[in-house]
């Protein structure tokens, strides 16, 4: 695994946090669209789809919050290590960075899959 500088890691974390903020905004929009569909089609068949997407949003929000917390916690550990011993911090890396990157990638992929499914559903009903 390539060792990245703390500045590079910090920039990557900021990028991830910006993506997560954008996804959170999108989730608010999705919730509003679901409310519109539910108001327009109160029947049981459509409501089961609305409930499905509400559950998906709950899960996505939960994973979003956990991932955001873990990125910020890792940033705090990097900062503390750098303050204690900048040379040691600059020359040591843990596998957590790669693991966080994998989690961000997985979250993004699953979010986009849900988003595509959601837009197909909303397009048919609004």
- For 95-125, how does the pLDDT look when each residue is reduced to its tens digit (9 = 90+)? 567 889 999 999 999 999 999 999 999 999 8
The DSSP secondary structure of 16-65, one letter per residue, reads: HHHHHHHHHHHHHHHHHHHHHHHHH--SHHHHHHHHHHHHHHHHHHHHHH
What is the average pLDDT score of the chain?
Answer: 89
- For 29-49, how does the pLDDT look when each residue is reduced to its tens digit (9 = 90+)? 999 999 999 999 989 999 999
Q: Where are the domains of the chain?
A: 6-125
- Asked if residue 3 has pLDDT above 60, the reply is no
Q: What is the pTM of this model?
A: 0.84
* CATH of the domain spanning 6-125, picked from 1.10.3470, 1.20.120, 3.40.50, 1.10.260: 1.20.120
Instruction: Provide the pLDDT for residue 94.
Output: 57
């Amino acid at each position: 695994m390539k060792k990245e500088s703390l500045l590079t890691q910090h920039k990557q974390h900021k990028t991830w946090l910006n993506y997560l903020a954008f996804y959170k905004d999108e989730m608010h929009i999705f919730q509003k669209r679901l409310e519109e569909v539910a108001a327009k089609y109160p029947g049981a068949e459509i409501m089961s789809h609305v409930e499905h997407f509400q559950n998906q949003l709950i899960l996505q929000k939960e994973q979003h919050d956990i991932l955001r917390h873990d990125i910020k916690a890792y940033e705090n550990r990097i900062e503390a290590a750098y303050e204690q011993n900048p040379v040691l911090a600059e020359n040591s890396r843990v596998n957590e960075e790669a693991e966080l990157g994998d989690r961000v990638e997985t979250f993004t992929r699953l979010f986009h899959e849900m988003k595509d499914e959601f837009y197909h559903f909303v397009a048919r009903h609004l």
